[in-house]
Homo-oligomer: A and B are copies of this chain.
């Protein structure tokens, strides 16, 4: 019966997190003092302190000397891998649309000549069918880079590559119905960015990704 194998501090952190999520303490409000919590959880003060530190590292709690320990965030930053594994694949593609359509729009108005060259090179790379998924991923990243927006790029890098394997699997089971149309949508996107037409760029990006969403539907 290995019930209590985990360290006490880890279990204390878990208990505290549960109470925070249950709404026992509102966002920004103060938790009871260390000694009080230690008595409630039936552990020593240092154990409580370590539990608080762990949650502070995760951004849930914040302790200020002399004042107390406060709730810093109700919604714990859930691991992206966990989120993406749980939710519907369609939801992921929709989020991609949000990021990439806006990136395409911005890229159309901000792209430099160098961006354009990189874009055409990535498009040509897509012709070769052997590494289609990776080349496609690289192409889309170039678009986001051309948007010159660090937040959007961070968004793309942290969450799009994580569904790569899922996409590979899905495309193996059910291939794209019309590869030529898909490639044409990419070419349209590059042309719209070259022509500095934000609306057309966003629309082209949306067309491609909507078609991709159909595969998962």
Chain A residues at the B interface, C-beta cutoff of 8 Å = 7, 9, 13, 46, 49-50, 53-59, 65, 73, 75, 77-78, 80-81, 83-84, 86-88, 91-92, 94-95, 97-99, 101-103, 106, 149-152, 154-155, 157-159, 161
Contacts of A97 in B (CB 8 A): 102
A106 near B94 with CB under 8 A, answer: yes
Interface of A is mostly: helix
Contacts of A75 in B (CB 8 A): 157-158
Q: Shortest distance in angstroms between A84's beta carbon and chain B's nearest beta carbon? A: 7
**Complex alpha-carbon distance, A159 and B154, angstroms:** 12
Which 4 pairs between the two chains have the least Cβ-Cβ distance?
A57-B57, A98-B102, A54-B57, A95-B151
**Which of B59, B151, B157, B159 is the one whose CB lies under 8 Å from A87?**
B151
**Complex alpha-carbon distance, A98 and B81, angstroms:** 22
B151 near A91 with CB under 8 A, answer: yes
A94 near B102 with CB under 8 A, answer: yes
For A51, give the chain B residue with the smallest CB separation: B53
Offer 12 A-B interface pairs, CB within 8 angstroms, sorted by A: A9-B53, A13-B57, A50-B50, A53-B54, A53-B57, A57-B58, A75-B158, A78-B154, A83-B150, A83-B154, A91-B149, A98-B152
So how many copies of this chain end up in the complex?
A: 2
For A63, give the chain B residue with the smallest CB separation: B7
- Kindly list 5 other residue pairs between chains A and B, CB separation below 8 angstroms, not including A57-B57, A77-B158: A53-B53, A58-B58, A83-B154, A98-B98, A98-B99
**Which of B78, B92, B151, B157 is the one whose CB lies under 8 Å from A84?**
B151
A94, A101, A106: residue with the most chain B Cβ atoms closer than 10 Å: A94
For A13, give the chain B residue with the smallest CB separation: B57
A87 near B57 with CB under 8 A, answer: no
**Which of B54, B56, B59, B94 is the one whose CB lies under 8 Å from A151?**
B94
For A94, give the chain B residue with the smallest CB separation: B149
**Complex alpha-carbon distance, A159 and B80, angstroms:** 13
For A57, give the chain B residue with the smallest CB separation: B57
For A147, give the chain B residue with the smallest CB separation: B94
Q: Shortest distance in angstroms between A67's beta carbon and chain B's nearest beta carbon? A: 13
